[in-house]
Chains A and B, each alone.
Chain A
Amino acid sequence: MTRFLATRAGIWTGFAAAALVLFGAAPLLLSGFRLGLFAQFLCYAIVAVGIGLAWGRGGMLTLGQGVFFGMGAYLMAMHMKMADAEFRNGPGSVPDFMELAGIRELPAYWAPFSSPAFTIAAILIVPTAFAVLLGFAVFKRRVKGAYFAILSQALAGAFAILLIGQQSMGGFNGLSRFRYFFGYNLDDPVNQQMLYFIAAGVLLVVVAVALQLRRSRYGELLVAVRDAEERVRFLGYDAANIKVVAYATAALFASVAGAIFVPVVGIISPASIGIVPSIMFILGVAIGGRASLVGPVVGALAVAAAQTALSEQFPSAWTYAQGLLFIVVIALLPGGIASIAAATKRFRKEPATAEATA
C-alpha cells in the first residue's frame, strides 16, 4: 500500500481519492455550518503543510508561522473592509471600524487595497519577500536550531503587539464583519460553499507543490542540510539559500491560508496570530508526523476538530490534553502517526525508506 503510493500511478490515485472526499463526499455529508468549520480546518492544514516542509524536512522549527498567516489574513481583511466601505459610501470612504475609532481620513497605506489584483499580489508577495529577507539575515549568519526557534517566536510576539497598537488596523479587536468577498455576498450559503471549495482546492495544490519539492533533488538537499548543514557547505552549496527556499515556501502557504481564513471565519485579530497560536500550529504537525507529507494535514485537521469539539464544553480538560499531547507525542513518538505506519511497514519486512524523525 505505502509502496504503491510512492509510484506515479499511486500519487494520482491518492490525489483523486482526496479530491473525491473534499469535493464530493464532504459537501454532500456536511451541513453549511459544518462545511464552514471544515473550511477553517483546511486553512490550518495548509499552514501545516508548510511547517512540515520547513521543520520536518528542513529542520527549521518555525514558531512564528502566525506572522505569515496573519499577514495574509490582514491583507485580505483590509481589502474586504475597503470593499464594504466603498459599497456603502462610495470610493475613498473610511471602513466602519475606523469611523468608530474616530479616524476620519483613510490612511495612505489602505488606499491600494481597494484593488483586488493589488491585494492578491500583496498576499502572495509581501509575506514571501519578508521571509526571504529575514531568512537571509538569519541563515547567512548561521543562526540556527534553538536560536532560530526563539527568534521566530519573538517575531510572532512582536507582530501581535505591533498590531494591537495600531488603531487603523483594528487594534486589539482586529478586523471583522465582512460582507463581500470579491463581490460575492458572504451571507449567501452558495458563496460560503464556494469558499470551502477554494480552501479545498488550495490545499490540494499546496500538497502537490510540497510533494514535488520533496521528490526533487532540492528535497534531498533540504534533508541533507537538516541532517548535516556544515557538510553541505563543504560540498560547495550555500546552505542558507536552500533553507530560505523552504522557509519562504512555508511563509507563502501560511499567508494564503490566512487570506482564505478571513472570509471563511469572518474575523482576524492579534489573538489568533501571536506566540501561542503560532506554536499551536506545530501541534498538529507533530502529531501527524513532521517529516511526512500527509501527516501534517491529518494532524492539523484532527487537532482543529478536537479543539472545536472539546474546548467549549471542557476548556480546562482540553488545555490539559493539549499540553499532554505536546509532551507525549514529541517525547515518545517524534515521528508522529506517520512513523507508526512506517514501523508497521518495516515489520512486514519491506525495504525501509529513509524517513527521518530528526
Chain B
Amino acid sequence: MDLLVGQVFTGLSTGSILLLAALGLSLTFGQMGVINMAHGEFIMAGCYTAYVTQQLVGDAGASLLIALPVGFLVGGAMGLILEAVLIRHLYHRPLDTLLVTFGVGLVLQQVARDVFGAPAVNVTVPEALRGGVDLLGTTVPKTRLFILALAVVAVTAVTLVLRFTPAGRRIRAVVGNRDLAETAGISSRAVDAGTFFIGSGLAGVAGVALTLIGSTSPTTGQSYLVDAFLVVVAGGMGRIKGAVVAAVALGTFQAVFETYSTASLAKVGVFIVIVVFLQLRPQGLFTLRTRSLA
C-alpha cells in the first residue's frame, strides 16, 4: 500500500514536472505547429532568473514569489523576440524552424555559459518548502507538492484563458482556421505573437520551479526538452487535455519502470511505449476528426 501510494505520487510528481515543461510547448507546437528547440533554453532562462533574483533579494521565500512572475516575463519576452525575428518568417517550413531554433538554443546556452559559467549553480529552497509532508503513510517532499500545485494552477490558468477571454477565443479561432479567422478581422500575426509570449512565459515559470528540485547549468533546459516534446506528441496536437493525460501517464510509467529496473532502461521503455502507442493512435490521444486535407 505504501509502495503503491509512493509510486502514484512519484508518477504524479514526475508527470507534473513534465507537464510544466510541456505546457508551453503544447501551445507553441501543439496550437501553432512551431517546433521551438529553444524552448529548453527558455526553461533554462527561468532557472537563472530564479538564481539571479535570489542573489538580489536574499530571502528565499520572497525571491521565489518574485521570480515566478519575473520568470514568466523573461521567458515570454525571449519568445516574443524569437517569434518576431525568426519564426514568423518560417511558418511554412516547420522542420527548418526546428533547426533554426536549435541554433538559437546553442547560442543561448553559450551566453549562459559565458555569463554564469559552466558549473551548475544552486538556488536555496525556502524554509516553508523544506522537508516533507506525511501523506497516506509515505513522506512526500514539499517541493514536489509545490510543483504539482503549480502545474495544476498553470493548466487551469491556460485553460481558462483559452476558453473565457477574448484573447483566448482569438487564439482558438486562428488555430481552428487561420484564413477564416483573418477574414473575421482577427490579426493572426498578433495572435501568433501572443501565443508565443504565453507559451514561452510558461517555460520561464517551469524553469523557476525546477530550481527547487535540481541545480541549474547552461544545459538544464535541454535535458527536459525531448521528454516535453514526447508529451505533446503523445497527447495530440493542440490539445491541452492531451498534454495533461500524456504527462501524467508517461510520468507514472517512468516512475514505475524505474522501480523495477533502472533509470536508463526506463528512458528506453518510454520511447518504446510511445512508438507502440503511435501505432494505435498516430495522431496522439485526443484529436479532432475533420475532413482531412490531402
Do A and B come into direct contact in the complex, CB within 8 Å? Answer: yes
Binding site for B on A (CB under 8 A): 59, 61, 134, 137-138, 141-143, 145-147, 149-151, 153-155, 157-159, 161-162, 164-166, 230-231, 234, 275-276, 279, 282, 286, 316, 319-320, 322-327, 330-331, 334
The answer on a CB contact under 8 Å between A334 and B95 is no
With beta carbons under 8 angstroms apart, the residue of A143, A166, A279, A327 that contacts B104 is A327
> B229 contacts A154, CB within 8 Å?
yes
| Structural contact, A61 and B282, CB atoms closer than 8 A | no
Contact-residue bracket for chain B: 35 or more
Please tell me if the beta carbons of A161 and B264 are within 8 angstroms of each other in the complex: yes
Contact A275 B226 (CB under 8 A): yes
29 A-B contact pairs sorted by A residue (CB < 8 Å): A61-B95, A138-B275, A141-B278, A143-B278, A150-B230, A151-B275, A151-B278, A155-B271, A158-B271, A162-B264, A165-B262, A230-B294, A276-B222, A279-B99, A279-B102, A320-B106, A322-B103, A323-B103, A323-B105, A323-B106, A326-B99, A326-B103, A326-B104, A326-B106, A327-B100, A330-B96, A330-B100, A331-B100, A334-B93
A141 touches B103 (CB 8 A): no
Q: How far is the CA of A142 from the CA of B233 in the complex (A)?
A: 13
5 tightest A-B CB contacts, nearest first: A326-B103, A165-B264, A323-B106, A323-B107, A327-B103
Tell yes or no: B109 within 8 A of A by CB.
yes
Closest to B114 in A: A316
Do B95 and A316 touch (CB < 8 A)? no
- Closest-CB distance, A356 to chain B (whole angstroms): 13
Give the chain A neighbours of B104 by CB distance below 8 A.
323, 326-327
Binding site for A on B (CB under 8 A): 29, 33, 35, 86, 89-90, 93-96, 98-100, 102-107, 109-110, 113-114, 222, 226, 229-230, 233, 262-265, 267-268, 270-271, 274-275, 278-279, 282, 294
> Are A146 and B35 CB-contacts (below 8 A) given A157-B226, A322-B103, A327-B86?
yes
- The reply to whether B89 and A331 contact each other, CB–CB distance below 8 Å, is yes
Docked-complex contact A158 and B267, CB < 8 angstroms: yes
Measured between alpha carbons, how far is A330 from B105 in the docked complex, in Å?
A: 14
Main secondary structure of the interface of B (DSSP, over half): helix
Return chain A residues, CB-CB under 8 Å to B110. 316, 319-320, 323
Would you give the shortest CB distance from A60 to chain B, in whole angstroms?
9
A103 to B130, CA, bound (A): 41
Task: List the A side residues contacting B294 at CB < 8 Å.
Answer: 230-231, 234
Q: How far is the CB of A246 from chain B (nearest CB, A)?
A: 16
Select A158's contact among B107, B113, B270, B278, beta carbons within 8 Å. Answer: B270
Contacts A149-B35, A334-B93 given; does A162 touch B226 at CB 8 Å? no
Q: A residues within 8 A CB of B90?
A: 331
* CB of B243 to closest CB in A, whole Å: 14
How far does the alpha carbon of A143 sit from the alpha carbon of B104 in the complex, in Å? Answer: 26
Q: A145-B95, A147-B233, A158-B271 are in contact. List 14 more A-B contacts (CB 8 A).
A: A137-B275, A142-B282, A151-B275, A157-B226, A165-B262, A234-B294, A320-B110, A323-B110, A324-B107, A327-B104, A327-B107, A330-B100, A334-B93, A334-B96
CA of A29 to CA of B94 in the docked complex: distance in angstroms? 44
Q: Give the complex CA separation of A284 and B93 in angstroms.
A: 19
Which residue of chain A is the closest to B272 with respect to CB atoms? A158
* A286 surroundings in chain B (CB, below 8 A): 99
Residues of A within 8 Å of B226, CB to CB, are: 150, 153-154, 157, 275
Given A154-B229, A316-B113, are A149 and B106 neighbors across the interface (CB < 8 Å)? no
B279 and A141 form a contact (CB under 8 A): yes
Q: Give the distance in Å from the alpha carbon of A282 to the alpha carbon of B89 in the complex.
A: 21
Contacts of A323 in B (CB 8 A): 103-107, 110
CA distance A158 to B272 in the complex (A): 10
A319 touches B268 (CB 8 A): no
Inter-chain contacts of A159 with B (CB < 8 A): 268
Q: A326 and B89 in contact (CB under 8 A), knowing A151-B274, A165-B264, A316-B114?
A: no
Q: Which residues of A contact B35 (CB under 8 A)?
A: 146, 149-150
Residues of B within 8 A of A319 (CB): 106-107, 109-110, 113
B94: nearest chain-A partner, CB-CB: A146
A61 touches B98 (CB 8 A): yes
Give the residues in chain A near B233, CB-CB below 8 Å. Answer: 147, 150-151
Docked pose: A230 CA to B226 CA in angstroms: 28
- B residues within 8 A CB of A234? 294
B105 neighbours in A (Cβ, 8 Å): 323
Separation in Å of the A34 CB from the closest CB of chain B? Answer: 28
List, in ascending order, chain B residues with CB within 8 A of A146's CB: 29, 33, 35, 94-95, 98
A358 to B212, CA, bound (A): 43
Residue of B nearest to A228 (CB): B294
Beta-carbon nearest neighbor of B276 in chain A = A137
Contacts of A138 in B (CB 8 A): 275, 278
CB distance from B91 to the nearest CB of A (A): 12
